[in-house]
């Protein structure tokens, strides 16, 4: 048994209650271990001590993989120790091996709620109510008081993009550590900035559509409309315009049609049927 107020053992029968339900309240670090695993014995006391130090801001759940083989198989455990971070019932992060305490603290920092997160939630509620300017001011204050909270930075960038403050949004993203710059959430925001800049420089939609009515091969018009539709969230229409560019001129702005499609794929979930549909259409034009 695990002797700690904030560390527990779990098995197949109580995993849902101990891990999944608790993850709706706080982050849950699930430590997949085995008695014969020496690195597991090094990691366990670090996790337990941190759980006590954070006083319930997260909990540790230990799963003995020798006894709980079904759980180990379900979560694809291939090496020990493996620690998976659960939030809202799903795995949101993980690390392998007996990582140093400093690394574990950095991982926790990504998932434990802070005061700036509560301010962030208030700001997003203001935005949803239509008070975007007030929301930006509030979340800028949260970012200034807690600049290391990337959740605040990302939401601030999202609001700035929606408000058309693209240079400011780009600057916020630049402040995020370099090792995170290629992460999908940051890349998606950069793509939104790119499309917003193209749309900002393009003529009005009705003018672009008028140009296409006269010349369906007008790649500049397709490109502007693709960007504008992407900004509006009409991804299907955007992809149609980028496909048309591929059909008409692969050399247009250094293969901008294909690149536009790839950017759209980065903005929508892989499970969306549009992704498979338009990947197939794109591939048919490549080969």
Positions marked active-site: 37, 40
Q: CB–CB of 223/253 below 8 Å?
A: yes
User: Residue 77: which of 67, 86, 85, 69 has the closest Cα?
Assistant: 69
Q: Is the peptide bond before 81 cis (omega within 30 degrees of 0)?
A: yes
């Amino acid at each position: 048994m695990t002797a700690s107020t904030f560390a527990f053992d779990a098995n197949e029968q109580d995993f849902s209650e101990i891990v999944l339900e608790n993850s709706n309240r706080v982050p849950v670090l699930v430590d997949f271990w085995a008695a014969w695993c020496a690195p597991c014995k090094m990691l366990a006391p670090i996790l337990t001590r941190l759980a006590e130090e954070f006083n319930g801001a997260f909990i540790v759940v230990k799963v003995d993989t020798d006894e709980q083989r079904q759980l180990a198989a379900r979560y694809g455990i291939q090496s020990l120790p493996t620690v998976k971070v659960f939030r809202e019932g799903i795995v949101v992060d993980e690390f392998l091996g007996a990582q140093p305490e400093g690394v574990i603290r950095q991982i926790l920092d990504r998932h434990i709620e802070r005061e700036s997160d509560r301010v962030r939630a208030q700001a997003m509620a203001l935005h949803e109510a239509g008070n975007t300017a007030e929301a930006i001011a509030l979340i800028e204050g949260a970012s200034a008081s807690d600049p290391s909270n990337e959740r605040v930075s990302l939401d601030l960038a999202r609001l700035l993009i929606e408000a058309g403050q693209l240079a400011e949004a780009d600057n916020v993203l630049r402040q995020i550590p370099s090792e995170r710059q290629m992460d999908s959430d940051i890349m998606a925001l950069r793509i939104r900035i790119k499309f917003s800049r193209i749309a900002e420089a393009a003529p009005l939609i009705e003018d672009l559509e008028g140009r296409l009515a006269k010349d369906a091969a007008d790649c500049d018009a397709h490109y502007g409309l693709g960007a504008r539709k992407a900004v509006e969230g009409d991804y299907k229409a955007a992809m149609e315009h980028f496909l048309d560019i591929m059909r008409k001129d692969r050399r247009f702005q250094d293969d901008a049609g294909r690149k536009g499609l790839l950017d759209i794929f980065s903005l929508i979930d892989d499970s969306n049927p549009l992704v498979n549909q338009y990947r197939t259409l794109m591939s048919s034009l490549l080969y």
